[in-house]
A = this chain, B = another copy of it.
Amino acid sequence: MTDRFMARAIQISIDNARTGRGGPFGAVIVRQGKIIAEAANSVVASNDPTAHAEILAIREACARLRQSQLRGCEIYSSCEPCPMCLGAIYWARPERVFYANMAEDAAKIGFDDSLIYGEISRSIGKRKIPMIQMMRDSAQEAFSIWAALPGKEAY
């Protein structure tokens, strides 16, 4: 099965790989049969570890739609989303995600996707980056204020 939207995401990934501006990844977001956002990974060029193709495309699509969710949209990514991007996808709530390369393929050329998937499944005490809890009692105040806030926009 070939699809013009996925073909576009793949072309972006190929063009980006040639420039070295960032990893070989591209993403496209489609709504009602039209591309409303597209992006290439720009981690290297922007010194931004969050500048993955899916994150940038989600931000652009939401800015264009002026809403923080992508209901009715589809994401085409040239590679299976990493855990960061998968998290962003769940917050954005598109209808579905299409992907081409797999996380294992990315691991083979030096990207940490598979390692991070493993870390997220691990209990906090067993992760490679130490995560230490403290001051929970003080922090609860913010949650109480939010819970009681009238007219807030849930997301």
Contacts and interface: CB of A to CB of B under 8 A. Distances in A.
Interface of A: 1-3, 6-7, 10, 13-14, 16-18, 20, 23-26, 43-44, 47-50, 55, 58-59, 62-63, 65-69, 78-80, 82-102, 105-106, 108-110, 112, 115-117, 119-121, 124, 129-136, 138-143, 145-147, 149, 151-155
Report the copy number of this chain in the oligomer: 2
B10 A101 contact: no
Given A91-B116, A96-B131, 7 more contacts: A10-B142, A17-B146, A49-B58, A83-B83, A84-B86, A100-B133, A101-B139
B50 A109 contact: no
A55 B63 contact: no
B119 A155 contact: no
Nearest to A81: B131
A23 to B, nearest CB: 7
A110 B93 CA distance: 15
